[in-house]
Chains A and B, each alone.
Chain A
């Protein structure tokens, strides 16, 4: 049904999960939404709920691979955990539309999930993310996110770890702290900040509205967040998502990706907690697609300058804490 197949050319695992072809495409119909209370997945009412995905790419009790591997074509069980986190019982909504209190509650759940899932010895990386919008390929519009608890460190994270490790070795400093320092010195790409977090579109953005949120302190993961971090993180997260919605006057589509230290027990003191958003919008009606250059050569073409797009977002409300309190 599923297995990990090794790509010896790119040197990365591919998850083969044939059963995911059966996933339902249910959009904008509260009568048949599987994430609404009592419909399919979640018996009874709830505030925030998390459950194992019915169509998981990775499973705790992973089946034996369908195919036999060898030295060149390695094969492993797709062992891991895939969870769905439902942010609210309310079918219509998003983090941007929830109260700040609800967003803070969600941050506490993310922290709890990171800590619990990282305690399994077969989990090497806990990846918390959200796919929002049809263009992203989200099959359900009910506000929700996902967690993939991987049995390996995913390639993009590994690449960041390698860069961070090499930079630290060469310069004796955290690469991500240096990026944050440089962005603050320049200022043109900063969107908003509070005491513990800064949001900006990086100099090297791949997508037009690619916001990154960095912790100001050198933190590695949610595990190091105290209550004040959780509150400030909820505040800056909601601020960015409201700005996204105010950009063109509709609920913005995005991928929200939380980059944290791996959970395999090794030293990753050179890494740095941050969140990356990849919105497909180039403007109100045009999308960025990962076409030939991006998909085939791995070279992104960004049709806009980060300085201009950061200014657009900076100028959109909210501008004060009162604007985001409901």
Chain B
């Protein structure tokens, strides 16, 4: 079977950064909540 294994753990780990996740929860006018997830300030 061809092309089954496309990557290894080490390669993936190097290519993706674990940035600090910020989570800000706010209330909207009608009472529903909204949550912003942000990774800026890297």
Binding site for B on A (CB under 8 A): 41-42, 46-52, 54, 100-101, 104-105, 108-109, 112, 187-188, 190-196, 227-228, 231-232, 234-235, 239, 314-315, 318-321, 323, 325
Instruction: Find out whether the CB atom of A49 lies under 8 angstroms from the CB atom of B35.
Output: yes
Q: How far is the CA of A48 from the CA of B23 in the complex (A)?
A: 10
**Interface SS of A by simple majority:** mixed
Instruction: Find out whether the CB atom of A49 lies under 8 angstroms from the CB atom of B3.
Output: no
Instruction: Find out whether the CB atom of A193 lies under 8 angstroms from the CB atom of B1.
Output: no
Instruction: Find out whether the CB atom of B32 lies under 8 angstroms from the CB atom of A51.
Output: yes
Q: How far is the CA of A109 from the CA of B19 in the complex (A)?
A: 13
Instruction: Find out whether the CB atom of A47 lies under 8 angstroms from the CB atom of B13.
Output: no
Given contacts A52-B32, A52-B33, contact A239 B3 (CB under 8 A): no
Instruction: Find out whether the CB atom of B38 lies under 8 angstroms from the CB atom of A315.
Output: no
Contact of B4 (CB < 8 Å), options: A100, A105, A190, A234: A190
Given contacts A100-B16, A105-B39, A231-B12, contact A51 B34 (CB under 8 A): yes
> CB-CB < 8 A to A47: which residues of B?
36-40
Instruction: Find out whether the CB atom of A231 lies under 8 angstroms from the CB atom of B11.
Output: no
Whole-angstrom distance between the Cβ of A132 and the nearest chain B Cβ: 21
Given contacts A49-B36, A108-B21, contact A194 B5 (CB under 8 A): yes
Contact of A232 (CB < 8 Å), options: B9, B17, B38: B9
Q: How far is the CA of A41 from the CA of B32 in the complex (A)?
A: 10
Q: How far is the CA of A188 from the CA of B38 in the complex (A)?
A: 41
> CB-CB < 8 A to B16: which residues of A?
100-101, 104, 231, 234-235
> CB-CB < 8 A to B23: which residues of A?
112
A-B contact pairs, 26 of them (CB 8 A): A46-B37, A47-B37, A48-B36, A48-B37, A51-B28, A51-B32, A52-B33, A54-B30, A100-B16, A105-B37, A108-B37, A112-B21, A112-B23, A187-B1, A192-B3, A193-B4, A194-B9, A228-B9, A231-B13, A231-B16, A232-B12, A314-B1, A320-B7, A321-B6, A321-B12, A321-B15
Q: How far is the CA of A188 from the CA of B33 in the complex (A)?
A: 46
Whole-angstrom distance between the Cβ of B22 and the nearest chain A Cβ: 9
Instruction: Find out whether the CB atom of A320 lies under 8 angstroms from the CB atom of B6.
Output: yes
Q: How far is the CA of A232 from the CA of B8 in the complex (A)?
A: 9
Instruction: Find out whether the CB atom of A46 lies under 8 angstroms from the CB atom of B36.
Output: yes
Across the A-B interface, the 5 shortest Cβ-Cβ residue pairs: A52-B32, A51-B34, A321-B7, A195-B9, A48-B37
Q: How far is the CA of A138 from the CA of B13 in the complex (A)?
A: 34
Whole-angstrom distance between the Cβ of A26 and the nearest chain B Cβ: 19
What is the chain A residue whose CB lies nearest that of B40?
Answer: A47
What is the chain A residue whose CB lies nearest that of B37?
Answer: A48
Instruction: Find out whether the CB atom of B8 lies under 8 angstroms from the CB atom of A195.
Output: yes
Known: A235-B7, A318-B6, A325-B15. 12 other contacts (CB 8 A): A46-B36, A51-B35, A187-B4, A190-B4, A193-B4, A227-B18, A228-B9, A231-B13, A235-B16, A314-B2, A319-B6, A321-B12
Whole-angstrom distance between the Cβ of A148 and the nearest chain B Cβ: 16
